[in-house]
Structures are given as structure tokens and as C-alpha cells.
Structure 1
Amino acid sequence: MKNCKTSFNHLPFISSRRFPLVDISAPMDKGLHFVFCVVTTVLLLRESSQTGTTRNDDAGTDLRGPEESLPTLTVTTILEDPYVMVRSAELEGYCIDLLKALATMLRFSYRVKVVGDGRYGAVTSSGNWTGMIGEILRQEADIAVAPLTVTSAREEVVSFTTPFLQTGIGILLRKDTVSQEMSFFHFLAPFSKETWTGLLFAYVLTCFCLFLVARLSPCEWNEPKNEENHFTFLNSLWFGAGALALQGVTPRPKALSVRVIAAVWWLFTITLLAAYIANFTALLSSGSEQLPIQTFEDLVKQRKLEFGTLDGSSTFYFFKNSKNPIHQMIYEYMDKRRDRVLVKTYQEAVQRVMESNYAFIGESISQDLAAARHCHLIRAPEVIGARGFGIATTQASPWTKKLSIAVLKLRESGDLDYLRNKWWESSCLHKSRERWSPLQPQALGGLFLTLGIGLALGVIAAVLELSHKSRRAAGHAKKSCCSVFTEEMCTRLRIKENTRQSQETSGRANA
């Protein structure tokens, strides 16, 4: 073999490299020359395989790694806690974490910019859009990742993905501005109206059963024609009221049937009083029922607080387009006082609620965060206008469907719930979850059922006692048991006649 030949084209590499330890021009034998050619070819092949994957100067293709070959999206957003915040010259927050997760799933890089005018997006009188929606329409940004509400007006000019957060419209208040003195009947607050109604019915029914059983039981009233029954209806009412006050009153029950009803009523009253005391203590410590503004109707009727929302926000247009009379009144109030009650940013709204007599109408999920961060703030219970936050893109964007599918996958995997808990967690939030509420009848259902069973057992016991006496009386009088039992029942239930006879008997005795 005179020449070392190879089928690979490595002339550029050969000409640019030197091998000082070997002089090719020096005379050598064929074997050594062959070994030298093989070693040189192997070295050149190894170097070409390494450099060929990172650079190709003739083709001009940049292959410096997978990160730099990904598509880059310009993302517009807005500074709002906890969605996007500036910490140590870097952006962080719920939306930033969401954007990172989407970029990892869909393999794209991004450049985040804060919206120039600090607005979400509303149409002006000239037909132009402001805020993030305007930047997308002017192609200054590819997508908008922010707490941007999906509305029909915005959907006409841009496209939205599947909502990544669900919210509604609520009222943010400062606790001391809406607190009020306890009403005259505040002691009734621990129980709901239904519970008080059920308690009154249970009291009357129990007293009636005491009255009835005391008349039927021979152990309590052995001789109806000659004895006076101490368990009159008024005395039965007094006995039941005494048990409610944990006081022993007369008459004292002697029959087993009457004692069964009395024992069940005592158990009922003790448990009921314990529940009342516990709930009343919770009411006084929480103070949550001292909010006179519970609904939007309450907000309209009061005159102490001004109220407003973000200027040009979807919340403002919700009230503008609503046909609800209450919503129309809210819109008219805000529109007439636009310069005084409408705010520019969410931070300004929260600050105004904390410092003045002002109620802010806005996204309930953001208000929950404000109440969690500032413990003297509270959101009213009523939430209206369910809506969602979505990612906005241009209508012709190929990323809309991809982002929607990615958001659904994040929701199904629980990642969205994790982000929600991460950025909304707070000590104040835990306290707000334990809001006080009046005790409902459902919570005392077992107690009412126990009372009903006890009353039924007492009545059954009284009937058995009367039937036992009737059987013995029938044996002595040689009559049928049913006829004697019927006579006893009629005698004991003739209230007026028995009362008159007892009065006549007592009158003769006095004479």
C-alpha cells in the first residue's frame, strides 16, 4: 500500500492540523506507514463528529443547543399581587409560575413585558383598545398571561384559552367601617329562625304529651272521678319551661311514662343550652354577623360608604350591561361619580378601602387574597357574575389551542390547585374559612329525633299502663277488656267534665 486513501473528505481538517511528533516525509516501512494512516483517520473522524454537531459554517445553521432553537413569545402582563410581582429585580407570582409550566410543556421560550399603560384592556370612544388587549391587537405582544377576565367584548377581538382561574364579583370592605352595635334581639342570633321555630314546636308538643300521658296513666291519675290531676296543661307548660331554665318545678312526675318524657326533655334542653352557649360565644368572638352589608342590595341601600370598581374593567361593564335593577343602580351610581369612585389600579383600590369609607367591587378571588393579607379587611358573602381568567392571544394565533390543552392538563394534574394554594396561603385566610353562622335545624336533627322517640315511648307506656289497669278492672267487673279500656279513655279525656266533677267534690269537702 503506497498511499493512505479514505472515502471521507477531511482535507480542511488535515490542512489545519499538525502532528509534530511524526515526520510524514521521512522514509518508513509500509507497515508503519499503514498504522500511521489508520491512526490519523480515526483521530480525524472523532474530531469531525464532535465539531459537526455544533457548527456548520458553510450551511450557516445555528445549532448551539435545543434552548436557542425554540420559538420565543413576547408575553404582556400587569403587576398585580399575587399574579405578577417584582422581587429582587425579577418577576414572580402565580402567572409567572403558570407561564413557566406552560413553556416547559409546549417547549417555547418567552420574554415578559409589563403593559405600558397599566390597564387590562377596554375599548375607547374612538374604537381603539387599551391595555394588554391593545398590545396584542397591535402585535406588540404574542400572548397576555395575567388576571384577564374572559368577556364577550374581548372575545370579539382576541382569542382566549380555557380559564385557568374561576372567580366572580364581590364586595371588599373594612371591618370597622361596616360594624354596627348589637341589636336589641341579638341574643337570638345563635340559632336561625328555623331552629327557633322548631324549638318552640318541640316545647309545645312535649308539654302536650306530658299533659296527655299524665291523664292516661293510672299511676299518675288513678281515680279520675275522685282525684284532681296535677298535670294540667298550664302546669305542663310550666314544667317544660322550668326544665329549659334547668330548674326543678312541681308537679313531680310519678308514672313511668311521664318520667320517660321528662327525662328525654331534660336531655334535650341540656344539649340545646350547651349548643346555644357555644354558638353565642363564637358569635361574640368572631363578630362576623355584625356586617350589615351582606349583599349588593344592602350596599345600594346604605349611605355610609362610597363604592366603586376599576375604571374600564370587565366588572364595570358587567354592571353597565346587566338588566338587574340592583345592578343598574350600582352602575348609575358609579357612572355619575366616575372621577370620585373609580380607581386606576387594584393596589389603589385596596389602599382606599383601608384608609377611607370605601367599598371596592371587584374580582372575588383577588378580594380573598386582600382579606388574607390584611386581616382587618373582609369580603361580603354574596358573589355574582361567575367568570374566569384566561390567556389572551391573537385570533389567528396557532398557540390558542395548544395553550388551552396545556391548561386543562395542568388542572387535571392538580398543578393549578397547587399554585392557588401556594400564592393564596395566609394565616388570615385560615381564620376567614372559620366564619360563624347561625345554628341550623340540620345540625340538631339527631336531637329532635331523640325527643320525638322519647315522646312516642312515653305515650306508648301510658297506653300500656292504662290497658293493664283496664284488664284487671274488666276481670273484677266481668266485662270485656276493650269496653273497660274505652270507658277509661273517654273518662280521662273529658277534660271539662272531669274538672267540674273534681271542683264539685272539693266543694262538698270544704262544706
Structure 2
Amino acid sequence: MERSLWVAFCLGATLFLLDEPTLADATENGDYTSKDTDSVRGGGKDWPMLYVTTILEDPYVMARGTELEGYCIDLLEKLSEILHFRYKVGVVKDGKYGSLSTNGNWTGMIGEIVRKEADLAVAPLTITSIREDVVDFTQPFLHTGIGILLEKDTILEDASLFHFLAPFSKEMWAGILAAYVISSLCLFLAARVSPREWDGNEDTPFTFLNSLWFGAGSLALQGAVPLPKSLSVRIISAIWWLFSIVLLTAYIAGFSFVLESGSEQLSIQTFEDLVKQRHLEFGTMASSSTLRYFKESKNPIQQMVYESMNKKKDTVLAQNYQEAIQRVLDSNYAFIGETVSQDLAVARHCNLIRSPEVLGPRGFGLATPQGSPWTNKLSVAILKLGEAGDLDQLRSKWWESSCSHDDHDKWSPLKPQALGGIFLILALGLALGMMVALIELSKKSRRTADQEKKSCCSVFNEELSQRFRPREIKKQETAGKSKP
């Protein structure tokens, strides 16, 4: 009797183990492995079962011992909690995302969805028009673009002779030049209008050239002559001094960051820079949406990128991201791919960097068979996760950087918006100075009008015309008065 019970127990245990394959078998053979949701939520056995296909891609889906983990697994878990479904996850058999082969059949995860071998594809699948023709995509759960992944040591070049201009942007330098010229002009006009600076017989010491020199001396924090005597000119001078002090402080602080960050800068900032250089090979993943993007692009630079990759397709096209990243680390190679995956590589390999330019904004979505009732439900659930901040939390969890970032890595040339307040104060000060100069002249005109029994407005106009009369007319009038 005991022997019979023992045989029955062994037979039952064997059947149970055969019924539930291990993750290792699922990973190697492409079979499905189930997630036990019953232990987490009551009533899970009554929920519908979805068969999910995915691909091993760090950090989206990774095999850790006997379990799958990663961004997509966490996302799938959250979606199942919201929509109340169970799921079995299997790794795609051919290890591909999905592309249209020459015989008209789809490969990879897209192929499994088209053939209805799976109900859902949860992976970093780029939403494209050609894929949208054969499957349905949900709302994007991650947004990305096309960037260039590079090794820092291979793209650093010495700073240019004009590296001292780096603390300010081009717009900022243009704004400073305009402020300097306008302030000097206001200084000249106020000195001409103010009675204390112009006596009527001789030109004021504040000629336009002298005003330019006065502004340059103030900007360099050096003493400058002539000294202002009237209130209006002193207001303009004081506001220009304040502007100069703030500007120099900002420049010195910015230049300190430039010096601390070293005398090197990236030689490849854009795809045009990548095409023009000759010491780096560049490529992308074979049969990827990125390669198709450059193939179908009408942009001349992007066409040149595709032609270069197509000529050397046997050597520059990588089969997966791991191979591409390793090539960037080991050789003179630049990888063109999804920025979100490149950001992960930069976070884990401190010697890698992504170029600033990003092309073709796109998104990663979940794929379902056409007409599936789950598509809209999953889209709404993804939107809810985004609104609740869960998607950002997952991104921070799996994209956590192991590299230390110095302050100068976050620095960028100063733009006019950063010092917009001091520009506004300068404009108000110049306007105030000009108004005070006109008030000073109007007071003098009123006194002269009372003495000569004339209209105040006529005297004011005469004073203005006398101050801005050309030198030749003045000389002629002076010569005419000196004749008997």
C-alpha cells in the first residue's frame, strides 16, 4: 500500500514539472513561461490569459537566473494589475524585432503577432507605418529618437583660438554689442540735450566717439573721461556701470567652468559632422527601423549617411545593441540608434557620450493583432500610468547612472534670457536718462522764454535744432556774424 502511494506521488510530481516548464527552457526553446498572479491577487484564475512575446534586450527584458526582469516586465505587471489579465511570456524564437523579408513574410515579434502565435508583444518596438499596416500599436510608453553614440576619447579635439568666447552664446554677444552701441548713443544724445553738458558755443566733451570710449572703459572697469556733470548723463553712466559689473561677473563665472572642463570639445555634434569626418566608421543595426529611416529620407545629409552605411553594410551593421556598444568601446566606431537605448549605454559606460542632435522623434509601443480588443484598453492603461508618474519611475529605476557627473557637464553657453533682467534695467535706465535730459532742457527753455518774452515751445525747438545742427552750418553762421 505504501509502495503504491509512493509511485503515485512520484508520477504526480513528474507530470506537474512537465506541465510547468522552467524559465531556462523557455529562454532556450522559445516556449512560454507563466507568471503566477494568483499569489498576488485573489480571483486571478478567472482572468483571461494573454500569450506575450518579447526579446532579451537590456534593460527592457533580462534573464536573471530563473526569472525575467526589466522595464518591460515591470510594465507588463502594472498593466495586468489595471486590466486584470494573466500572462505567459516567451522569448521570440528568431531573436528579431520584426521586419518584412524578401518572401513577403514578417520575422521576429511582429511575425508572431501577425501569425497570431502571440496576443501581445511587449518590447522596445518602434512604431512605424509599415508595421502599423499589419499589427495594431498602443500609445507609446517610451519616447525616443535617432542619435549618435560615440566614445569620448575618439571625438575630442583641441579648443579653437576663439574659445574665450564660449561663456556666452552668439545671441548673447550680439545683445551685448547692441547694448553697448545704444548706450553710447544715449550718452551722446543726453549730453547734447542737457544744458549742463552743452554751453551752446562749444561741442560737449561727450562726442559720439568719446561716448564709445567712455562705455568701453566702463565695461573694462577702468576710469574713463570726461566725467559727467548733468543728472541725466550721470543716470545713464551709472546704469551702464551696473550692467558692466553684472556682465563681467557672469562672464568670469562662465569662463571658470570652461577652464575647469578642459580645453577640449566634441568634434562631432551633428550627423553632418559625422559624414564629413574620415577617422570613424559608423553604422546601425541590420534590418532596423533606424536603417529604414535613413533609406527613405529625402534629406541630403541623411541620404549620405545611408549610402555610406549601405556601401559597408557587411562590416558596419551590427546584429544587436550589445555588439554595437562593444564596437564603440573597442574601435573607432560610431553607432546610430535609438536615443533611449543610447542613454542607457551612457549611464553604464562612463566613457561613452551621445551627440546633441536627435532625428526622427518616435515612440515604443506594444503590438497586438489587428482588431484586437486589448489595443484600446492597453492604450488607456498606459496613459493612466503616464499621468500617475509610474512610467517616469520605471525609467529612473532602470536607467540609473553609475557615472558621476561634474557640474561643468551641465553647463552651456549663457543666453540672453538668463540675463534678461539686467538688459531690461539697462533699457529703463537709458529711457529715464533721456527723459531727465529733456526735462533739463525744457526748464532752461522756460526760463529763456520768460526772459525774451517768447513761446516756450519755440525756444525749446530752437535749442534742439541748435544742438544738432551740422558743423558746416554752424561755421557759416559764425563767419557771417563776424563780418562787418
TM-score of the superposed pair, with normalisation by structure 2: 0.82
Return the alpha-carbon distance in structure 1 between the equivalents of residues 325 and 409 of structure 2.
23
Report the residue type matching 2:271 in the other structure: F
1:112 match: 89
Return the alpha-carbon distance in structure 1 between the equivalents of residues 216 and 55 of structure 2.
64
Instruction: Name which of structure 1's ranges 268-277 and 462-471 shifts more when overlaid on structure 2.
Output: 462-471
- Aligned pair in 2 of structure 1 residues 101, 349: CA closer, same or farther (>3 Å)? same
Return the alpha-carbon distance in structure 1 between the equivalents of residues 111 and 187 of structure 2.
77
Superposition map of 1:385-464 within 5 A: 385-395=360-370, 397-426=372-401, 428=403, 435-464=410-439
Runs of 5+ unmatched residues, structure 1: 1-62, 505-511
- Aligned pair in 2 of structure 1 residues 168, 434: CA closer, same or farther (>3 Å)? same
Return the alpha-carbon distance in structure 2 between the equivalents of residues 87 and 472 of structure 1.
94
Q: How far did residue 337 of structure 1 move?
A: 0.5
Report the residue type matching 1:372 in the other structure: A
Superposition map of 1:308-323 within 5 A: 308-323=283-298
- Aligned pair in 2 of structure 1 residues 492, 400: CA closer, same or farther (>3 Å)? closer
Q: Is the 8 A contact 1:371 1:378 kept in 2?
A: yes
1:3 match: none
1:192 match: 169
Runs of 5+ unmatched residues, structure 2: 1-37, 480-484
Report the residue type matching 1:91 in the other structure: L
Q: Is the 8 A contact 2:257 2:408 kept in 1?
A: no
Is the partner of 2:434 in helix, strand or coil? helix
2:459 match: 484
Deviations 1:369-418 (A, max 9, x none): 22222232222222222222122233364543443343333333332222
Return the alpha-carbon distance in structure 2 between the equivalents of residues 156 and 494 of structure 1.
77
Report the residue type matching 2:442 in the other structure: S
Asked if 1:215 is matched to 2:197, the reply is no
Asked if 1:248 is matched to 2:223, the reply is yes
Asked if 1:86 is matched to 2:63, the reply is yes
Instruction: Name which of structure 1's ranges 96-105 and 150-159 shifts more when overlaid on structure 2.
Output: 150-159
Q: How far did residue 172 of structure 1 move?
A: 1.4
Superposition map of 1:91-102 within 5 A: 91-102=68-79
Point out the structure with the larger strand share. Answer: 2
2:271 match: 296
Q: How far did residue 121 of structure 1 move?
A: 1.5
Q: Is the 8 A contact 1:286 1:436 kept in 2?
A: no
Q: Is the 8 A contact 2:158 2:264 kept in 1?
A: no
Is the partner of 2:361 in helix, strand or coil? strand
Superposition map of 1:165-184 within 5 A: 165-184=142-161
Superposition map of 1:225-374 within 5 A: 225=201, 227=202, 229-286=204-261, 290-374=265-349
Q: Is the 8 A contact 1:85 1:93 kept in 2?
A: yes
Q: How far did residue 231 of structure 1 move?
A: 1.7
Q: How far did residue 139 of structure 1 move?
A: 4.9
Q: Is the 8 A contact 1:190 1:439 kept in 2?
A: yes
1:134 match: 111
Return the alpha-carbon distance in structure 2 between the equivalents of residues 337 and 99 of structure 1.
39
Return the alpha-carbon distance in structure 2 between the equivalents of residues 401 and 462 of structure 1.
70
1:44 match: none
Superposition map of 1:22-101 within 5 A: 66-101=43-78
Deviations 1:420-462 (A, max 9, x none): 2222233659769963332222223222221122112222222
Is the partner of 1:148 in helix, strand or coil? strand
2:443 match: 468
Q: Is the 8 A contact 2:258 2:408 kept in 1?
A: no
Is the partner of 2:228 in helix, strand or coil? coil
Report the residue type matching 2:334 in the other structure: A
Return the alpha-carbon distance in structure 2 between the equivalents of residues 157 and 479 of structure 1.
91
Runs of 4+ in 1 over 6 A off after TM superposition: 429-434
Deviations 1:181-219 (A, max 9, x none): 111222222222222222212111211222222222222
Q: Is the 8 A contact 1:372 1:429 kept in 2?
A: no
- Aligned pair in 2 of structure 1 residues 143, 486: CA closer, same or farther (>3 Å)? closer
TM-score of the superposed pair, with normalisation by structure 1: 0.78
Asked if 1:143 is matched to 2:120, the reply is yes
Is the partner of 2:157 in helix, strand or coil? coil
Report the residue type matching 1:204 in the other structure: V
Return the alpha-carbon distance in structure 1 between the equivalents of residues 179 and 427 of structure 2.
9
- Aligned pair in 2 of structure 1 residues 363, 413: CA closer, same or farther (>3 Å)? same
- Aligned pair in 2 of structure 1 residues 377, 285: CA closer, same or farther (>3 Å)? farther
Q: Is the 8 A contact 2:100 2:106 kept in 1?
A: yes
2:29 match: none
Report the residue type matching 1:438 in the other structure: P
Q: Is the 8 A contact 1:165 1:390 kept in 2?
A: yes
Report the residue type matching 2:460 in the other structure: F
Q: Is the 8 A contact 2:345 2:352 kept in 1?
A: yes
State how many pairs are aligned: 440
Q: Is the 8 A contact 1:102 1:403 kept in 2?
A: yes
Return the alpha-carbon distance in structure 1 between the equivalents of residues 99 and 159 of structure 2.
44
Return the alpha-carbon distance in structure 2 between the equivalents of residues 392 and 433 of structure 1.
41
Return the alpha-carbon distance in structure 1 between the equivalents of residues 265 and 474 of structure 2.
52
Report the residue type matching 1:150 in the other structure: I
Report the residue type matching 2:159 in the other structure: M
Larger Rg: 1
2:30 match: none
- Aligned pair in 2 of structure 1 residues 158, 458: CA closer, same or farther (>3 Å)? closer
Return the alpha-carbon distance in structure 1 between the equivalents of residues 407 and 49 of structure 2.
42
Return the alpha-carbon distance in structure 1 between the equivalents of residues 417 and 132 of structure 2.
45
Return the alpha-carbon distance in structure 2 between the equivalents of residues 96 and 73 of structure 1.
14
